[in-house]
Amino acid sequence: MGRRSALGALAAFGLVLGLVVAGMTSASAADPLVSRGKTVLASSIEGSGFEAAKAVDGSTSTRWASVEGHDPEWLRVDLGSTHSISRVKLNWEVAYARAYRVQTSPDGSAWSDIFSTTTGDGAVDDLTVSGSGRYVRVYGTARGTPYGYSLWELEIYGVAGGTTPPTTTTTTTTTTTTPPTPGIGYPFGSRKQPYAAGILRPSGSTSTLDAAVVDYYQRWKSAFLRHNCNSAWSQVLAADADHDYVAEAQGYGMVIVATMAGADPDAKRIFDGFVKWKIDHPSVIDPDLMAAEQDDRCVSVNGGDAATDGDMDVAYGLLLADRQWGSAGTYNYKELAIRHINAIKRSEINPTTKLLRPGDWATSSDPRYYVTRSSDWMADHFRAFRKATGDSAWDTIRTAHQNLITRMQQNFAPGTGLLPDFVENTNSTPRPPAGKVLEDELGDGKYWWNACRVPWRIGADAVTSGDPTSLAAARKLNSWVKSKTGGNPGNIRVGYQLNGTQLSSEVSAAYTAPFAVAAATDSGSQAWLDALWNKMLATPIGGDDYFASSIQLQVMITVTGNHWVP
């Protein structure tokens, strides 16, 4: 996406300022400025030069900006001690908030609204407020432009002291959130990143839904988590794969365990075991990537090169870990993540098409150089990579994949929205292969054991970003499968031609569960989503179905509102 000029330029910022001010006290309009140069945090930054501190540096030529195209976003100021707040002044850049709240907090966890609007028009908002707290936050919930949120300056006026009343919750002015477990940024169940408007969840209380996820997670760990060959390693045992350990499984494990932090006190130790495994099993082609397959002796086999699907989740899992625990421990998660992301771009992105290749082995001399695998097209991961690196190339890469999804649905599956396992000929006229291009003569050009993940992967971006392209693709899939099955998840079968013709009479959670994420995008599919949820709850875990069980667990995390984008 192009950058705007200095006058109206660039500012994609989701604003959620953690401003700690709880309660109502009186204050004078002549109170001094208390925010200049204070410690500031932001939910995101657009890139280098747009850091949170730019909003309180006293200069109207520097600014904070959030990532583009995402709600909500916030900016939080730590005043250092409790203050009575009387005035908040926001000097918006072109990228302003149409709807936002100013909030205060005594501890940076529980927030009370002292101002809110849904009719913001940018420019300068000079607000007379009354509140008390150590932290003040600007929390943007709806952007006024397609970009993000951006502030030239945030000024907070008040005096030290004041009272900090108990945190309460009302439907109009006060919001309470669960304090995070110490040292954990996004404890499971906290839902600190709300989904896009209108996204469904299975019926029932959040506590009931979360308990079901935690129960399934514990059973998943018992069935598949291992520390074989070296007690410092963590692995997901992939008994139903070609080898005991595959990159796809390790990537799943890293994402799952980092997401479950807070529900699992052992999560960080387990995650660090995955990190050591990654470091100790580099690809022989690009050592910043991970070798795709290991045998029962934990030795890399089958060439020792990389697989893109595993690498995408490994990088994403490292970003989750950085947000959960920080990067000052045994491993610098953020540094490892950025190295991995850059290696994906260098060795697994086709520089001509901007599409993912199947692995770092698919070089220009390989006939699969212009082949891409549909289940690798993870738009939410691309967004996280863009945010972490500040590299706008990831916007171009994400758009290329979303455009290909639309093109394939329109040209080859107009009635179903189904995608094939692989797409070939991507440099000219993309098409499903007629036979085997990589894995399977029957399935490479069909909705088979790779593409079965597509409703989940597309849907994960749709529910978190509200992106219209992702929403349209997910809803197309949902509409077809709901009609095809008559609303009965038990009728979903293993494999389809792109026109919806059934290929097998078998059933698998790998095919059933992903459609629940697509269902969550459609406001008219509550009963269908509930049926899919109940089907998942009734599906047991077996020791030989790591693939289906790992997919279902991640689907359960997503549809309960617990998926988040670092």
Pick from 158, 156, 159: which is nearest to 56 by CA?
156
Separation of alpha carbons 547 and 534, rounded Å: 20
Length of the chain: 566
Would residue 289 be called left, alpha or beta, if left means φ above 0 and alpha means ψ between -120 and 50 degrees?
beta
Q: Give the C-alpha separation, 36 to 474, whole Å.
A: 45
From the list 248, 264, 380, 461, the catalytic residue is: 248
Separation of alpha carbons 420 and 272, rounded Å: 35
Q: Output DSSP code: residue 520.
A: T
Instruction: Output the CA torsion sign for 345, 347, 349, 351.
Output: positive
Alpha-carbon distances of 418 from 370, 449, 492, 499, rounded to whole Å: 21, 13, 13, 8
3-class DSSP state of 79? strand
Residue type, 368: R
Q: How far apart are CA 46 and CA 52, in angstroms?
A: 10
309 catalytically annotated: yes
Distance in angstroms (rounded) separating the CA atoms of residues 535 and 539: 6
- List Cα–Cα distances, 350 to 36, 400, 401, 410, in angstroms: 46, 11, 12, 23
- HSE-CB at 10 with a 13 A cutoff on CA atoms is 17
Which residue of the set 125, 272, 293, 309 is catalytic? 309
Return the number of other C-beta atoms located less than 10 Å from residue 302's C-beta: 13
- The residues annotated with a catalytic role in the active site are 248, 309
